[in-house]
Structure 1
Amino acid sequence: MKCRSLCQLVVGSFILSVGSVTSSNANAQLTIGRQIIEPVTPIIDSVPVDVGTVRDVLEAQVEQGVESTFGSLANIPTPQFTVPSPLSLTSPAGSLVLKEIKAPDGFLAVEREWLFVGSEADRTHFSHPDITIESSHYLTAIGQWIYRLKVSTSLDELSQIRNNLPESLKAQVGRNHIYLAQSKGNPDSQNNSQHVLANTTPTDKPKVCQAPVRIGMIDTSIAQNHELLKHLVIEQQSFLPQALPTTQAHGTSVAGLLADNMLAGSHLYNASVFYTRNSISQGATLLSLIDGLNYLVAKQVDAINMSLAGPENPVLSKVIQKISEQGVQILAAVGNEGPASPPMFPAAYPSTIAVTAVDSKHVIYRWANQGNYVDFAASGVSVEVAHPDGTTSRETGTSMATPLVSARYACLFRASSNPAQALATLRDQAIDAGAPGRDPVFGVGILH
């Protein structure tokens, strides 16, 4: 007994020393298990098992012993997480529109820009010579104002910004971070011929839906006239400064994948937020994301697809929590930064459904993030997608897996009008993969 106690003490100390690898994810997962369906708590008693309950399996796994913990640590690959180099984007006339920096937290952000959510009266807290309110507007989705602040170099630090706020508001400010689209093209793939599209008709869709749905997406703009989208009613709005370059490729791909599981007459609402960073990367500021979410909630969507990932941010957390409390489900890609990446957001937030990618043989996508916040897996490796030029191409990434789960959830929600029931049915449809039960690679399982 003494040896066993001593071993547990040593192991406990060791686990604490590598908290950034395992413990933080475990703690986050245990929190998720109790919060994902909190807005619909009365339903839990009538639903035997739901996604949140399945997540609690992690507690039993932790209690099984320390041997499995050592085995997991030994198998952790070399960290793959990297942040792209910051860029400066200019208008056609040559004036600076947006300057990215690598913030102290290691993620990209807009230089010296911060966001704050609060009341209109809270603007008085920013009467400071080193703080300028660049813009402010009311967000109907959360019933609060959002302020975009520009600060001096000497004040460009979280602790300094919070010093100007009362204690009750300190958690409502964060950097204007930049979030990245989560797909990677297949260089060896070629566009498919037009006859593939000719054989695709709205009667082939949907495989699940029995009624029209309303789905929102946060992405690039989309090519609305694509053949694969013609059975949908599409509305989109841009939340980008006009001078920033943009593309239709990523958004059209995601929209096509959503459309494949949407009944004719369904509504698709797109908030265009991504600017083109380079030929393979698209970025979106947190302010654009929040404005896009505000727009989609006003459209009374059943679900919101977010094929993007980035850092934790208290402002984003607050907005997503408020949206979740209204019964609008957000689904997000877990990220393409590799198995050893830290948790990426919004996927890792408790109320968000996090989606990873597998190939046609149910093998996990090699660059997919892993962690106890992963909820479902879906096909996302070399999948056929709509291309803005009217043809199709192939894309890979957790971005490409998320739309199937978003559309499936929206269909189930529309059928039951009950978020908890929709989640429980979604879990029942998942095929277990990897380790028996829930695991940090496939989550609950794979959806087809």
Structure 2
Amino acid sequence: MKCRSLCQLVVGSFILSVGSVTSSNANAQLTIGRQIIEPVTPIIDSVPVDVGTVRDVLEAQVEQGVESTFGPLANIPTPQFTVPSPLSLTSPAGSLVLKEIKAPDGFLAVEREWLFVGSEADRTHFSHPDITIESSHYLTAIGQWIYRLKVSTSLDELSQIRNNLPESLKAQVGRNHIYLAQSKGNPDSQNNSQHVLANTTPTDKPKVCQAPVRIGMIDTSIAQNHELLKHLVIEQQSFLPQALPTTQAHGTSVAGLLADNMLAGSHLYNASVFYTRNSISQGATLLSLIDGLNYLVAKQVDAINMSLAGPENPVLSKVVQKISEQGVQILAAVGNEGPASPPMFPAAYPSTIAVTAVDSKHVIYRWANQGNYVDFAASGVSVEVAHPDGTTSRETGTSMATPLVSARYACLFRASSNPAQALATLRDQAIDAGAPGRDPVFGVGILH
């Protein structure tokens, strides 16, 4: 069952302009009224009955509008989202490289850019004076072509774009949306404190894995010479225009958390897709995400970690589904927009394992998204992570919780070569929290 996108929110936080980045529409807010959301069938609920399932009455309660353990739906506050200010990013020479806009759906997107997935012959549908094919290439991961389209202002609407397509292809076009990394720094202090590494290595801890694994990640670039990563075989490739500013902070943090649960000799493949929006925000275009996913599938990874979130998009939905059909599991952060937030993607897609964050006392992270698509919780509040300068720091967010679950799944999949069995075992290892059984806060439970 697909989740109905509200198409009304924006991920992120208040943005300040730095360097060559300029900002507009600061302090804009978007208020979303209460809406009935068609429930998502989470991937963990798709495990066959013979290996056990954990479906409680949550979906029925939501659909019928009755009270659940978490109170009546009428008491859910109307969510308010701080809209990230669109930015214009320039090269060192001052030329425009990428211009963000706030699209009519309320999300960030590249100005007047659309993506389409289809066959090579489908390019004939875009022979229109107001449509330019900026680029196109073949995606081996899904066996189709992807087109980046630039349209005129008069054609910059979904209905207008679809008018040029036959009925069978109308669901294969979407905006080139912007997706944001999901970490918010350490909530316990204004600035993250950095620490010199203790005299320990990743091999000092007992490991779940009994064999090396192959994990992919979609993130910023990583400082692969960090001490906490030296036991891994690391390969990374950038899918960004060279002129865009980048950082290694978020990717190095995620890589370090993955590495902490990977045996020596394991392979880590990183698709670098995020550009620096400012000192606390990283963005990635949907095209970069898809190119990164295509690269990781070609590397035959056991799992793909996506510590990011953003809007529902038909192009992303199609790509994620095609990858899932090949047996490659995607795990994603649920988002840091708070318990009243509508679903964020790719976490809310049915085939994705969605991960939320808890602190060291198993208290849910206060800004974590909630919903019946949440699958698992893991430590993600003020966790110690690898820093690009060779030290460690503290970070918080659902981004930081996702790597543990990704690594755990990869280990279980490598042991069984059976995705359903790996998911069932992962579910059995989770510690129930919150309301008895599965719930929209912790999902199945907490993994350590």
Corresponding position of 1:407: 407
Distance 1:4 1:123 in 2: 29
Secondary structure in 2 matching 1:323: helix
Q: Deviations over 1:165-198 (max 9, x none)?
A: 0010000000000000000112655999998634
> CA contact under 8 A between 2:312 and 2:346: conserved in structure 1?
yes
Deviates more, 1:251-260 or 1:45-54: 45-54
> CA contact under 8 A between 1:33 and 1:56: conserved in structure 2?
no
> CA contact under 8 A between 2:139 and 2:146: conserved in structure 1?
yes
* Cα distance change on mapping 1:106 and 1:94 into 2, 3 Å: same
Distance 1:144 1:56 in 2: 38
> CA contact under 8 A between 1:193 and 1:391: conserved in structure 2?
no
> CA contact under 8 A between 1:51 and 1:427: conserved in structure 2?
no
* Cα distance change on mapping 1:13 and 1:198 into 2, 3 Å: closer
Deviates more, 1:174-183 or 1:189-198: 189-198
Count of residues in correspondence between the two structures: 448
- Structure 1: runs of 5+ lacking an equivalent: none
Distance 2:441 2:203 in 1: 35
Q: Deviations over 1:198-229 (max 9, x none)?
A: 42224224521110000000000000000000
Secondary structure in 2 matching 1:412: helix
> CA contact under 8 A between 1:32 and 1:351: conserved in structure 2?
no
* Cα distance change on mapping 1:27 and 1:216 into 2, 3 Å: farther
> CA contact under 8 A between 1:359 and 1:379: conserved in structure 2?
yes
* Cα distance change on mapping 1:80 and 1:241 into 2, 3 Å: same
Corresponding position of 1:37: 37
* Cα distance change on mapping 1:147 and 1:74 into 2, 3 Å: same
Distance 2:18 2:69 in 1: 11
Corresponding position of 2:57: 57
> CA contact under 8 A between 1:378 and 1:402: conserved in structure 2?
yes
Corresponding position of 1:288: 288
Deviation at 1:64, TM superposition (A): 8.9
* Cα distance change on mapping 1:205 and 1:126 into 2, 3 Å: farther
Q: Deviations over 1:45-98 (max 9, x none)?
A: 997758993246434545998344993324423414333010000000000000
1:417 aligns to 2:388 (yes or no) = no
Corresponding position of 1:134: 134
Distance 1:226 1:243 in 2: 25
Q: Deviations over 1:140-162 (max 9, x none)?
A: 00000000000000000000000
TM-score (norm 1): 0.87
> CA contact under 8 A between 2:58 and 2:68: conserved in structure 1?
no
* Cα distance change on mapping 1:370 and 1:121 into 2, 3 Å: same
Deviates more, 1:29-38 or 1:96-105: 29-38
* Cα distance change on mapping 1:339 and 1:43 into 2, 3 Å: closer
> CA contact under 8 A between 2:21 and 2:88: conserved in structure 1?
no
- Structure 2: runs of 5+ lacking an equivalent: none
Q: Max radius of gyration: which structure?
A: 1
Secondary structure in 2 matching 1:33: coil
> CA contact under 8 A between 2:12 and 2:337: conserved in structure 1?
no
Q: Deviations over 1:18-70 (max 9, x none)?
A: 99999999999999999999999999999775899324643454599834499
Deviates more, 1:377-386 or 1:203-212: 203-212
* Cα distance change on mapping 1:222 and 1:273 into 2, 3 Å: same
Deviates more, 1:179-188 or 1:424-433: 179-188
* Cα distance change on mapping 1:23 and 1:378 into 2, 3 Å: farther
Corresponding position of 1:370: 370
* Cα distance change on mapping 1:18 and 1:437 into 2, 3 Å: farther
> CA contact under 8 A between 1:430 and 1:447: conserved in structure 2?
yes
Secondary structure in 1 matching 2:384: strand
Distance 2:81 2:5 in 1: 36
> CA contact under 8 A between 1:117 and 1:315: conserved in structure 2?
yes
* Cα distance change on mapping 1:334 and 1:359 into 2, 3 Å: same
> CA contact under 8 A between 1:235 and 1:268: conserved in structure 2?
yes
Distance 1:2 1:268 in 2: 31
Distance 1:189 1:37 in 2: 36
Distance 2:293 2:251 in 1: 16
Secondary structure in 1 matching 2:246: coil
* Cα distance change on mapping 1:125 and 1:52 into 2, 3 Å: farther
Secondary structure in 1 matching 2:41: helix
* Cα distance change on mapping 1:25 and 1:207 into 2, 3 Å: farther
Distance 1:306 1:105 in 2: 23
Equivalent runs, 1:1-400 vs 2, <5 Å: 49=49, 53-55=53-55, 57-59=57-59, 61=61, 66-68=66-68, 71-186=71-186, 189=189, 197-205=197-205, 207-400=207-400
> CA contact under 8 A between 1:34 and 1:53: conserved in structure 2?
no
Distance 1:45 1:387 in 2: 36
Distance 2:172 2:261 in 1: 37
> CA contact under 8 A between 1:191 and 1:392: conserved in structure 2?
no
> CA contact under 8 A between 2:3 and 2:39: conserved in structure 1?
no
> CA contact under 8 A between 2:137 and 2:146: conserved in structure 1?
yes
More helix by share: 1
Deviates more, 1:16-25 or 1:204-213: 16-25
Deviation at 1:339, TM superposition (A): 0.7
Distance 1:273 1:6 in 2: 26
Q: Deviations over 1:375-413 (max 9, x none)?
A: 000000000000000000000000000000000000000
Distance 2:282 2:14 in 1: 39
Secondary structure in 2 matching 1:198: coil
> CA contact under 8 A between 1:132 and 1:151: conserved in structure 2?
yes
Distance 1:153 1:219 in 2: 31
> CA contact under 8 A between 1:113 and 1:148: conserved in structure 2?
yes
Deviation at 1:341, TM superposition (A): 0.8
Distance 2:293 2:80 in 1: 30
* Cα distance change on mapping 1:44 and 1:156 into 2, 3 Å: closer
Computed over aligned residues only, the root mean square deviation of the Cα atoms, in angstroms, reads 9.1
* Cα distance change on mapping 1:202 and 1:51 into 2, 3 Å: same
* Cα distance change on mapping 1:78 and 1:52 into 2, 3 Å: farther
Distance 1:447 1:3 in 2: 25
Q: Deviations over 1:420-441 (max 9, x none)?
A: 0000000000011111111100
